[in-house]
Amino acid sequence: MKLIELKHIFHQELDDIYGKDEVQSFFFLLTEHYLDISRVKLALEPNTTIMKSEVDTFFKVLERLKNQQPIQYILGETEFYGLQFKVNNNVLIPRPETEELVDWIIKSHVEQSRNIDEEINILDIGTGSGCIAISLAKHLTNGNVYALDVSESALKIAKENAEHNNVDIRFIRGNALNLVNEIFFSFEKDISQKQNGLFDIIVSNPPYVRELEKQEIKPNVLDNEPHLALFVEDDNPLIFYKAITNFAVDKLKPNGSLYFEINQYLGRETEQLLKDVNLKNVELRKDIFGNDRMLKGTKK
């Protein structure tokens, strides 16, 4: 079968579900992944013929896409902040908004640091695939990075991603709601105690979608991505932010910063949490879609 014919079938079957542009993007990803054919080569040589076994693979993927399984889980990988990450349904698929958060952290540190070679300690709470921690380790090469998650399955993927991206990270299994009692504090002795506090940067993208917002979630997310990493109860939607903020007040060094990805509908409420514990220079930022999405506060 010719690739141009196969592409036409994908559009026929999937355009009503995803839209023409997204289906085209899917097809490019698939030809690169399974055939090592770039989108440029595909455009120049649309009549390229592929073998029956390869056609069969594409039709299997087509059925999974029709069932609204995420393309990232089908391929088993995705790109985030210029790096490749393995993903499966034990971890959330990294999103562009989270890339913006990582970019903010990196640029803020570079702008504020008087000595870019001085070691810094970074903690990522609720690391999932490890995309935040690994990206920070890759770009802030003076960082000692620690990453925590409650899910052993998620940590397994994160460790593989750290190895694949050639970064050193200390992974800890722990509950973000019970940080003060977690075993990982046994590594306090490994961190310099010249200053009060342990960390220069604490970052978290915790669960923040309220149950009442489920109807806004697309089926490909709702039916496939881990609910443990997505949802919180309606009557206490900031439960993770409260726990992590209180922990940060105790464990950040002076002038250390806390960063959050947040629920767009709860920006002001989350911002107030940081102000209530007297963090300074509290800043709420919008994402590329114009939604309140990122928050930063600094310890005095």
- In this predicted model, what pLDDT tens digit does every residue of 267-279 receive, in sequence order? 999 999 999 999 9
pLDDT at 181: 57
Question: Is residue 134 within 8 Å of residue 213, measured between CB atoms?
Answer: no
Lowest pLDDT segment from 101-110, 173-182, 275-284: 173-182
Give me the chain's average pLDDT, please. Answer: 92
pLDDT at 182: 53
Asked if pLDDT for residue 59 goes beyond 50, the answer is: yes
Q: Which two tokens stand for residue 158?
A: 């994160």
Q: Residues of 199-222 as b/e, b for ≥16 C-beta within 10 angstroms?
A: bbbbbbbbbbbbeebeeeeeebeb
Other C-beta atoms closer than 10 Å to the C-beta of 52 total 8
pLDDT, greater one: 150 or 117: 150
pLDDT at 118: 82
pLDDT at 191: 55
pLDDT band at 189 (very low <50, low <70, confident <90, very high): low
Q: Residues of 140-171 as b/e, b for ≥16 C-beta within 10 angstroms?
A: beebbbbbbbbbeebbbbbeebbeebebebeb
Asked if pLDDT for residue 183 goes beyond 90, the answer is: no
Asked if pLDDT for residue 194 goes beyond 80, the answer is: no
Question: Residue 72: which of 86, 60, 90 has the closest Cα?
Answer: 86
Residue with tokens 């490019």: 28
Integer Cα distance of 230 and 209 in angstroms:
6
- DSSP assignment letter at 69: -
pLDDT band at 111 (very low <50, low <70, confident <90, very high): confident
